[in-house]
Each structure stands twice: as C-alpha cells, then as structure tokens.
Amino acid sequence: MGRLLGFLLCFSSFFISATFADWNILDQRTKSGLKISLKSYCEGWRINVELHNIQGFAVVPEECVSYIGKYVTSIQYKVDSERTIEECRLYLSTSCPLKKDGKDAWLFDIDDTLLSTVPYFKKHHFGGEKLNLTLLEGWMSRGKAPALEHSLKFFDELKSMGVQIFLVSSRREHLRSATTDNLVDVGYHGWTRLILRGPDDELNEVQQYKANVRKQLISNGYRIWGIVGDQYSSFEGLPSVRRSFKLPNPFYYVS
C-alpha cells in the first residue's frame, strides 16, 4: 500500500510539473481563436488597466514586467501623456468660460501626474513587486522625482490664465516639506494649495478622501473645471466635476 501511494504521489507530481512546463503564453489563443503573443497579451493587460476593466491589482503580472518597464521608459509613454494634456488644452479652450474671479479651479494629483515615480519603480521591478509604502515614502522624502514635462507646461498655462490650482495627493502629511521642495526644484510654483492626507483622512480610502476635498472646495465657491490624475480614485465619487483626464499608469493601483 505504501509503495502504491508513493508511486501515485510521484506520478501526480510529474504530471503537474509537465502540465505547467507545457503551458506557455506564446502557445495560447483567445476564446475566439486568436493567437496570443507575449507582447499582445501584455498590451491587452495594460490597456484594460487604463480602461479600468482591471482593478485592484497588487502587482504587474510577472510575464509582463519587462514589457511594462519598456513602455514607461519609451517614447510611446511620453506621447500618450502628451496626448492627454493636449485634450486638456482643447477642452479648456473650447468648453470652459472662465470668469476670472478667483474661483476658477483645476485639480492635479502629484505622483505620476506632476512628478514621476518611474525612477523608483525602475529599481523595484516596474510594479512586479508588491508596493512597500515605507520604501516608497523614503524615496519620496529625498525629493528627487523628476517633473512630467507636459504636465508642467499645462500647469504654467493654467496659472497664466488665473486659474486656481489645487494639488490633491494621497501622500501623507509628513511628506509636505519634501513634496514642496521637490515640486519647486523641478519648476512648479504658484499653486493655490497643496492638500495631503492627514491622520483623519487615512481612515478613508483615497477615493473618498479626494471626493471630500472636492466637496469642500465646491462648498467654498470654487468651480472645478477639470482634474488631471493617473488613478481613477482621483475622479470617482461625488461630487463629480465637469471633466477628468487620466494619464497612463500601468504599474500600480490606488483605490
């Protein structure tokens, strides 16, 4: 009996190993029969993150880490970001009758909207590692994040038009000094207010915290013409605003 059990266990292990060894993304097909390449598989994953069909992911799929790394360091990533900002400009010029009374407002997220965290994630497997908040905040505290150039230009354009600029970030309050210094060092200045998460805000998810900020600004008489961010949590919840513009970010998810 013992020999038989041992044989069955060995056979099962061999079968399972063989099954997984035979599985390869390059040999797979979609349900409709389309042949899947690794590039098309990972591109489909990335697009569905941006479309918000894929939510709440903790890590980038291991087989797509290299692809995501190449994307966020590519010309395509810059082109995609620039196109988002161009759509902001078009909307602002055609659909925003600014009153220029000090109450026209625009909201920006910070990370991967004004400042890039790509240098940090380059050293952390481009999202293939589970996010370590302590390490990320340590990197943020050094204030070395580069600017996203297209966002900086749009920021300056809004400022020149007299629009009040609010920076609403999920960064925590203890990073205020480092965040301010980093923003100024790379060219951002003249915003109306920098809003970070205090201890009470941390009791809520980011989406609720940012919705609460919008509610307060609107109650203070501000007309929020638009929001630019890289996470859907920057836009979701009530009150909503006239337009939201999402920048690409396929390597982490904030709810």
Torsion of CA 95, 149, 74, 110, to 10 degrees: -80
CB-based contact 25:61 (threshold 8 Å): no
Least confident span in 9-18, 73-82, 98-107, 163-172: 9-18
CB-based contact 228:151 (threshold 8 Å): yes
Q: Kindly state the average pLDDT of the residues 117-140.
A: 95
pLDDT of residue 44: 95
pLDDT of residue 13: 42
Q: Compute CA distances 81 → 52, 57, 74, whole Å.
A: 17, 22, 11
The residue ranking higher by pLDDT, 4 or 108, is 108
Q: Tell me the three state secondary structure of residue 56.
A: coil
- pLDDT band for position 158 (cuts 50, 70, 90): very high
CB-based contact 190:206 (threshold 8 Å): no
pLDDT of residue 143: 97
**Closest to 81 in 3D by CA, of 73, 70, 69:** 73
CB-based contact 89:226 (threshold 8 Å): no
The answer, yes or no, to whether residue 2 has pLDDT greater than 70, is no
Beta strands in the chain (DSSP E): 104-108, 164-172, 193-197, 223-229, 243-246
CA distance 106 to 164: 6
Q: Kindly state the average pLDDT of the residues 234-255.
A: 94
DSSP state of 125: G
**Closest to 210 in 3D by CA, of 78, 110, 89, 123:** 110
Least confident span in 21-25, 29-33, 124-128, 133-137: 21-25
- pLDDT band for position 16 (cuts 50, 70, 90): very low
Q: Which two tokens stand for residue 112?
A: 């991967």
Q: Which residue has the tokens 């060995």?
A: 10
Q: Compute CA distances 185 → 18, 69, 104, 195, whole Å.
A: 55, 26, 26, 19
pLDDT tens profile 184-211: 999 999 999 999 999 988 889 999 999 9
Q: Kindly state the average pLDDT of the residues 39-43.
A: 93
pLDDT tens profile 45-74: 999 999 999 999 999 999 999 999 999 999
- Look up the pTM and report it: 0.85
Q: Which two tokens stand for residue 46?
A: 């990335």
Asked if the peptide bond before residue 239 counts as cis, ω within 30 degrees of 0, the response is yes
pLDDT tens profile 199-244: 988 889 999 999 999 999 999 999 999 999 999 999 999 999 999 9
